[in-house]
Structure 1
Amino acid sequence: MALEIERRFLVSGEAWRAHAGCAQPLRQGYLAASAEGVTVRLRIQDNNQAWLTLKAPAGVSGLVRHEFEYVIPVEDAEAMWKLAPHRLEKTRWLLDLPGGEWVVDCFAGTNAPLVLAEVELPQVDQSVVIPPWCGLEITGESLWSNAVLAQHPVQSWPLQERVRHGLA
């Protein structure tokens, strides 16, 4: 059974860019999402690769989730994109940092100017040095999940909430 072990953070500033590799434009469509945190997502990268992913909670911390991901034909993904009731777009940057697989996601459209960092870890108790440009840890907080952001984008939040998180 596939598990994803991941910590997530709000990003402040631009210092992360010194560690960034190539940009990967991504479109994500959510075909299903439950209140319990089960999602069915399609992801299209650069219009030439696509995946269908099912995620589900695997514990109470939000740190570990079941993840089943399958490559699918781009043509199928494009058809599913049109059917997806909730969508988002972002650019993902792979980072050259120790301690896990780090990425930064810069959201576009109605989720701009949100920037999140994620580190995927090989094990739950893996120690990791958190870079200074990582702000508030949001691991396990559903408000910040991509599935919720697709349904309730940042620009739909009350102004006071956006200001509180540095997004206005």
Structure 2
Amino acid sequence: MAKETERKFLVISDSWRANAVGRLYSQGYIATAVEGQSVRVRIVGELGYLTIKGPAEGLSRAEFEYPIPLADAREMLDTLCVQPLIEKVRYRLPFGAHVWEIDEFKGENAGLIIAEVELMSESQTVDIPDWIGAEVSGQTKYYNASLVKHPYSKWQKSGEIKSEEIGTQS
């Protein structure tokens, strides 16, 4: 079984930007309601993907990703996915023994920047860059599938933004 193990953190400064080059991602969710499971459609550049994720168990979860034709991905995003779509620029930045993925959200989630690092196991140690803030691993409100239903732009209105998140707002 394919398994993803990752830790997620809020980004608190822009010092990572100096050497970062990003790619635009557009993604949507066909299904997200069943106990942390999701079916995601994603376009990265001119490539389409279908991803199925299982519920989280600690820092890990089952993940299956398949390339799909770009035209199919576009049609699914337009007709099958919950709106609004997740729009973000993803940057990949090496630090220590790992490559960090930094997601700068756009659209309804503008102002939110999250960094994640994929691990081989939950016990693996990782060097934490100085631009990393609070860890949000396992906090479902930071899952992309949750951001579709309850976008970051609505958090401030509902008082959900905490002091550790202030550094992530643009």
- Find the aligned partners of 1:163 and 1:140 in 2 and give their Cα distance: 17
Could you tell me which amino acid in structure 2 is paired with residue 26 of structure 1?
Y
- Find the aligned partners of 1:152 and 1:91 in 2 and give their Cα distance: 19
- Find the aligned partners of 1:90 and 1:14 in 2 and give their Cα distance: 16
Superposed CA deviations along residues 96-141 of structure 1, whole A, max 9, x for unmatched, are 2123331100000110110000001122211101112111100011
Alignment of 1:1-40 (within 5 A): 1-20=1-20, 22-40=21-39
- Unpaired runs of 5+ residues, structure 2, are none
CA root-mean-square deviation: 1.5
Superposed CA deviations along residues 5-55 of structure 1, whole A, max 9, x for unmatched, are 1000000110111342x2110001100002510000011012x10100000
Structure 1 position 158, deviation (Å): 3.8
* 1:66 paired to 2:62: yes
Could you tell me which amino acid in structure 2 is paired with residue 71 of structure 1?
P
Contact 1:9–1:139 (Cα < 8 Å) also in 2 = yes
Q: Could you tell me the percent identity over the aligned residues?
A: 42
Contact 1:99–1:121 (Cα < 8 Å) also in 2 = no
- Find the aligned partners of 1:109 and 1:29 in 2 and give their Cα distance: 13
- Find the aligned partners of 2:156 and 2:56 in 1 and give their Cα distance: 32
Match of 1:85 in 2: 82
Contact 1:111–1:153 (Cα < 8 Å) also in 2 = yes
- Superposition TM-score, scaled by structure 2 size: 0.90
- Unpaired runs of 5+ residues, structure 1, are none
- Superposition TM-score, scaled by structure 1 size: 0.91
